[in-house]
Amino acid sequence: MSQVYPRVALIGLGLIASSMFWAMKRRGVAGHVTGYARSAQTRDTARRIGLCDTVCDSAAEAVRDADLVVLCVPVGAMGVVAAEIGPHLKPGCTVTDVGSVKKTVIEAVAPHLPEGVQFVPGHPLAGTEHSGPESGFASLFDNRWCLLVPVEGTDPQAVETLTTYWQALGANVEVMDAEHHDLVLAVTSHTPHLIAYTMVGVADDLRRVTDSEVIKYSAAGFRDFTRIAASDPTMWRDVFLNNKEATLEILGRFTEELFALQRAIRTGDGDHLHAYFTRTRAIRRGIIEAGQDTDAPDFGRAKTER
């Protein structure tokens, strides 16, 4: 793979940035990669594991002369970071991000970017429940989707180059508008996470079931909920505060569906339950057929010896 950008700057050095770096190195996508994290401890860790060609002690230093700048910080911090780096961006460079909300990120970041800088917000639909610089790996984006949400007036060439970049990292790319992106993610990610956090919270409240029993007897359903609910609290706080409308709309729909299922259980309506589970099972099968998960037993989890 030939080089897409001579210089790339990663601002924030968690799971996504770390995986981007290793994926870039795997394919020779960037000439030189700089990185910056607010925490000195994170910067020290990055230097120790060889994450980035140069780890800088300020965001301004990291973005200097960069052809691509990737904001890998929580959604709520995007505006502050954009204000910090704005004066130091070289003309013609592209700024993107990896946040899972787009409308409020665009509103927070765009005003701080100087004329001549291309802003192409993005969102790789990939991740694990782990966070931090040591959790990244090169294949994270393989056959996953990255959604690009160009702002009005963006140079099409900048979008094309960023598309090539993400494809080189292993991702499939699609362009979408911000409002639709936020609704799609409210359905596929944000609301499921909120429900997972809630279910784990409910188990914690059921004093008739002891903590040790919840942990000891966690069967598939609760175990999988806890995996989702292990995600980074700061990131998810910011997601819900910045995608209110879409999340509340989908939560309303979820509540309606839940009431209908409650009624079916209460009245013994087995036909309704069977039809509902059949329809939703087909959606799950579609996810596997699209290559976004595995149909291996136990969701493909490796068996571990006790």
Q: Residue 5 is encoded by which pair of tokens?
A: 């950008």
**What does the pLDDT profile of the chain (306 residues) look like in tens digits?**
689 999 999 999 999 999 999 999 999 999 999 999 999 999 999 999 999 999 999 999 999 999 999 999 999 999 999 999 999 999 999 999 999 999 999 999 999 999 999 999 999 999 877 889 999 999 999 999 999 999 999 999 999 999 999 999 999 999 999 999 999 999 988 988 898 888 878 777 766 666 677 667 766 677 777 777 777 888 889 999 999 999 999 999 999 999 999 999 999 999 999 999 998 888 878 877 877 777 776 656 554 433
User: How do the domains of the chain map onto residue ranges?
Assistant: 5-176, 180-294
pLDDT at residue 306 in the model = 31
The CATH number of domain 180-294, selected from 3.40.30.10, 3.40.50.300, 1.10.3660.10, 3.40.50.410? 1.10.3660.10
What count of other Cβ atoms lies within 10 Å of the Cβ of residue 256? 10
Our CA angle for 44, 50, 54, nearest 5°, is 75
The percent of the chain in helix, strand and coil, each rounded to the nearest 5, is 55, 10, 35
pTM: 0.85
Q: Of 34, 38, 33, nearest to 73 (Cα)?
A: 38
Our CA angle for 132, 133, 135, nearest 5°, is 70
Q: Phi and psi of 114, rounded to 5°?
A: -70, 160
What are the residues whose beta carbons fall under 8 Å from the beta carbon of 108, sequence distance 6 or more?
Answer: 78, 79, 82
Check: CB of residue 72 under 8 Å from CB of residue 13: yes
DSSP 8-state class, residue 52: S
pLDDT at residue 32 in the model = 98
- CATH number corresponding to 5-176: 3.40.50.720
